[in-house]
Structure 1
Amino acid sequence: MRHISINQKITIMRQDNQLLVITHLSQLITLITGFGSLILPLILWLTQKDKVYQMDEHGKNIVNFQLSLIVYCLLCIPLILFFGLGILGFIILGIISVIFPIINAIKASRGENPTYPLSLNFIS
């Protein structure tokens, strides 16, 4: 029989698919406010990663995706001068930034792991 001392911390994680869905959909706040697609999911991830089962994995994927979008947008700026490819890049990034949070929110509601395309691995 194993005894647990009073000083040991016991962490019990709960399954909360609704919060995972909200975290994915929080990336769409930019459509309303013009900013916050990185900040809001980052706050949700940092405050809930030790409390909600799979929040750490989902949060890392979201933050990596948002940071990747920022890098790709910065790369599109000089490409505007190169036959307007940057404008096409901005349009594609805009579509991807709306579609994949919705797809991954649906996956999170089913308990599946999220996948974001072209996501660089900043946080592992």
Structure 2
Amino acid sequence: MKSDITVAMSNEEKQWGMFCHVAVFVGYVFPLGNILGPLIIWLMKKDEFDFVDNQGKEAINFQITMLIASVVILILCWVLIGFLLLPIFFIFNLIIPIIAIVKSSKGEAYRYPLCIRFIK
């Protein structure tokens, strides 16, 4: 779904698309919840709503990318560079999903920056 195309979308579809992004914050409570939360919502609703299919894949791909980045940053902590990157990484991983929540709540498809798209 492209963000420049505006289609009539139900409030329910917008909400479920937004929930895909909100679910990433489950990772602050449960290990790997940032991936499992969006994955569960995506698997439940992807066939019902195209918007949820698109936004669920985006949220999952971004969180897998962030998991890989966090492993790299932790490895870089051994050479002290990682300690400089940790606050930047944390802020980035907090702010970008919030932007995605706001955009998707309006029915706009959000594409995460710096994201490896594992699920297409």
Percent identical residues: 31
Q: Which residue of 1 is the match for residue 106 of structure 2?
A: 110
Q: Which residue of 1 is the match for residue 74 of structure 2?
A: 77
Q: CA RMSD in A?
A: 1.5
CA shift for structure 1 position 23: 1.6
CA shift for structure 1 position 34: 4.2
Structure 2 CA distance, aligned partners of 1:77 and 1:23? 27
Write out aligned runs for 1:51-66 (5 A): 51-66=48-63
Q: Structure 1: which 5+ residue stretches go unaligned?
A: 1-13
Q: Tell me the alpha carbon deviations over residues 86-123 of structure 1, each in whole angstroms, 9 at most, x when there is no partner.
A: 12222222111111111111101111111212111211
Is 1:45 aligned with 2:52? no
What stretches of structure 1 move > 4 A for 4+ residues in a row?
none
Structure 2 CA distance, aligned partners of 1:90 and 1:117? 18
Give 1:101's aligned amino acid: P
Q: Which structure's residues are more often helix, by fraction?
A: 2
Structure 2 CA distance, aligned partners of 1:69 and 1:107? 20
Q: Tell me the alpha carbon deviations over residues 38-96 of structure 1, each in whole angstroms, 9 at most, x when there is no partner.
A: 101101001110012311111111111010001111111221122x2112222222111
TM-score (norm 2): 0.82
Larger Rg: 1
Q: Structure 2: which 5+ residue stretches go unaligned?
A: 1-8
- Secondary structure at 2:50's aligned position in 1? coil
1:90 to 74, 86, 90: 86
